[in-house]
Structure 1
Amino acid sequence: MHFFTSSLDAPNSALAGSLKPISKDSIWYADAPFGVCQEVLLSEGVAPDFIEPVVKLQSFVESWDFDLTDPLTLSRFLLGDPKNLQEAQQRLSESCAWRKRTDLANLMRRWGVPSPEGWRWQPQSPRAQQIARFFFGRVLPEARTAQNGPVLVLRLGAFDIEGAVREELVEDILEPWIFMVEQVFQLLRHISSQSKRPVKLACVVDMEGVSFAWLQHLQVMQKFSAAINRNYPEMAATLTVLRAPSIFTWIWSLAAPVLLEEMTRKKVAILGHDFSAQLAEHAQLSLEQLPAFLGGRGKEVPKPLPVPPGIQNQLPPRDVCAEGKPEVGRSQAPAPAQAKAPRVEGAWWRSRWDALSLEFASG
């Protein structure tokens, strides 16, 4: 039986968007009895009743061109129920196909740079730098919930959805959305690997300025939600909507069933302008960590600008990167040298695996 453990090395290859398969000779594979695998998985933070399905999922993806193979990440695809093996396999298949179809490696390089935790927002291509002005969200780098989860802030009410549709920029603005979601997902993997438990994020959504355009262009918002629903399971612990006008509750009742899966809708709280106490209770997050526009002292999240008429004709072409060179074609696999993030040397994890295997096998 082949078995693996999570490592900083494995997430880092994924953090760079590399879709190369993990070699059978790499340090996070080993031949070991199931009992040893069980003990090591427990030490890595996998819940006891999830061990058997996680091992089966590892076997399921073993030969794939896929990069989300650490045990805690695989356990997320079980959606909180170890009996969901068939559903997890289906979602893994869809996620693998989606990551290739999206050409995630190139997309991540257009919008950011590798960091020790995964990725840092820093638009690279001239077109990305222009489109970033109209985008509505950021990961707060320093903010953490009481459970050590990262914090995502969306200024969704200020997003000029009508302008994006009018100027045919929906696909362009979908790119930073995918970057941000992948960024925070890889941060979750990093924190979870260190914490030895599956950590989840808190998403804070500011709806000030929301209009009926939300309903008129609901199919656009479906594009954004579709990128998350099947490809990034069990990410959010809470989703807290702030500064929602009274009409928003009615809008949400119509929009939520087509935007979010049921398990995510159960995590939503809709608050008004006086949200400090309820935010702390629901999201386990202090007001001080939020940006100044929400009354905190955290890193600012720029307000998205209105999309001006005719902007499409003023944007740089899509096939030019920051250095003025053509990007790797979207339909092509990225070159391995370009796809890799800075890697942590494997010796530390090799020695750790050897020590754990010896301890559990003899104990």
Structure 2
Amino acid sequence: MAPLPRLKSRFCCLALAFTASSLLSQRDSETVLLRGLPWRLIPRLFPSEPTEPGRLQPAVASSGSSDRFLLAGVPREEVRRVAELTAEVAALGEEPLADPLTLLRFLRARHGNVPAAAHMYRDTLAWRSSFCISSVMNAFGSGGEYHRDGARATDTSKWTWAPSPSTPESRMAARHAFWGRLLAPDMEEPVLIWRAGSADYEGMVREGIVDLMIEAFVAHLEDAFQAVRACSLKSKKLLKARVIIDCKGFGFENVRYIPILRKIIVMATSYFPEISASVTVVRAPSFLATFYGLVRPLLPKMLQDKVSILGNNFEKGLYERTGLEMDSWPTFLGGTVDCVEEVQRVPRKAWSLLKSESLAYA
């Protein structure tokens, strides 16, 4: 029988992987992770305008418009419903979030149900406006132009935003962020990196910076969302990002913070539909793969196919999952690309230090 600490570590890593897997496809993952979770648990920080899905009636698309959706990359069997969704939300161009492939994401996130997809779409637009996506992206980076309502102001087939925090608050959050996007020239799909084992969850909670870190994570999700939109529009097919989670250092003491992770993932699946294709956990405890092998047959097929847990000898598995050569990996995994390097601990009296920093930049 495995010692208790090992059993606890197994639970922690699996909980983290399955939490992240809710980014894969809300159609399937919500039945695993979100069953029975009241929507009121989404923080008040993320309001949305109520809509009435029952009053929505799908419009019948003209057969003459099918070519437009086929040329955009929508699979033939989904053209009719994407056309209906386009008419339902009165989409007239690529913004706001209205190009055919992005509308396809909303449709798939709602099981192909046009009224439900329209409801999600409208809620997303309301949230983007109320959350001030444009201000968040300007605070945490540069290169992405937005209108005040959260719609892109530049060519949606190009995404040049890069992290570059410009305020004392965003600079503080950047020091403690454990996520990032891998930038490598040979990638067709974006790759997201989460150094979950390096995050100072206790310090974030102790110093009351959770809401600030959520803003920073929203900027990360928006970066990923716009990146997959751009590469999808260029490729004329629906592409998704791949998530790599480095679990080195993630122990049982962090299990108490899983609800915070789940909260932001619920937000992600509510407002960033169909963003990720797979989750690969690396540097997990060596015994975890064996344990996962035992529970894997009990999981939905979607999770079996999409979630992979690898130990310290992850090189072959990570290549098979992402298609990336080792040179394109982050340096902390043995590659040559700088991405999410050392995550700093949250200091005590963080807000007092921030005030001093603000005066220094004044």
Would you say same fold, with TM above 0.5? yes
Give me the CA root mean square deviation.
3.1
CA change 1:265–1:171 in 2 (3 A) is: farther
Paired position in structure 2 for 1:56: 84
Post-superposition offset of 1:209: 0.7
Post-superposition offset of 1:293: 0.8
1:125 equivalent in alignment to 2:158: no
Match of 2:114 among 85, 92, 97: 85
Post-superposition offset of 1:238: 1.3
Match of 1:103 among 128, 132, 136: 132
CA change 1:315–1:265 in 2 (3 A) is: farther
Of stretches 110-119 and 206-215 in structure 1, the one that deviates more from structure 2 is 110-119
Between the aligned partners of 2:331 and 2:89, the Cα distance in structure 1 is 44
Post-superposition offset of 1:285: 2.7
In the TM superposition, what whole-angstrom CA distance separates every residue of 1:137-173 from its partner, at most 9, and x where no partner exists?
Answer: 111122554xx11111111110000110000111111
Give the SS at the match of 2:143: strand
Post-superposition offset of 1:286: 2.5
In the TM superposition, what whole-angstrom CA distance separates every residue of 1:166-189 from its partner, at most 9, and x where no partner exists?
Answer: 001111111111101101110111
Paired position in structure 2 for 1:74: 103
Paired position in structure 2 for 1:163: 203
Percent identity over paired residues? 30
Between the aligned partners of 2:208 and 2:292, the Cα distance in structure 1 is 25
In the TM superposition, what whole-angstrom CA distance separates every residue of 1:175-224 from its partner, at most 9, and x where no partner exists?
Answer: 11110110111011111111110111111111111022332122211232
Q: Is the CA contact (8 Å cut-off) linking 2:110 and 2:116 kept in structure 1?
A: no
Match of 2:176 among 116, 134, 146: 134
Q: Is the CA contact (8 Å cut-off) linking 1:136 and 1:156 kept in structure 2?
A: yes
Match of 2:217 among 162, 177, 189: 177
Paired position in structure 2 for 1:207: 247
Q: Is the CA contact (8 Å cut-off) linking 2:280 and 2:307 kept in structure 1?
A: yes
Post-superposition offset of 1:34: 2.6
Amino acid at match of 1:142: A
CA change 1:262–1:87 in 2 (3 A) is: farther
Moved over 4 A (4+): 246-253, 261-266
Q: Is the CA contact (8 Å cut-off) linking 1:289 and 1:297 kept in structure 2?
A: yes
CA change 1:182–1:57 in 2 (3 A) is: same
Between the aligned partners of 1:68 and 1:41, the Cα distance in structure 2 is 15
Post-superposition offset of 1:283: 2.6
Unaligned runs of 5+ in 2: 1-60, 145-157, 294-299
Of stretches 77-86 and 302-311 in structure 1, the one that deviates more from structure 2 is 77-86
Post-superposition offset of 1:59: 2.0
In the TM superposition, what whole-angstrom CA distance separates every residue of 1:289-311 from its partner, at most 9, and x where no partner exists?
Answer: 11111011123322211111111
Q: Please report the TM-score for the alignment, with normalisation by the length of structure 1.
A: 0.70
Q: Would you tell me which structure has more helix in proportion to its own residues?
A: 2
Paired position in structure 2 for 1:233: 273
1:310 equivalent in alignment to 2:345: no
CA change 1:233–1:80 in 2 (3 A) is: closer
Paired position in structure 2 for 1:268: 307
Between the aligned partners of 2:302 and 2:126, the Cα distance in structure 1 is 23
Q: Please report the TM-score for the alignment, with normalisation by the length of structure 2.
A: 0.70
CA change 1:58–1:262 in 2 (3 A) is: farther
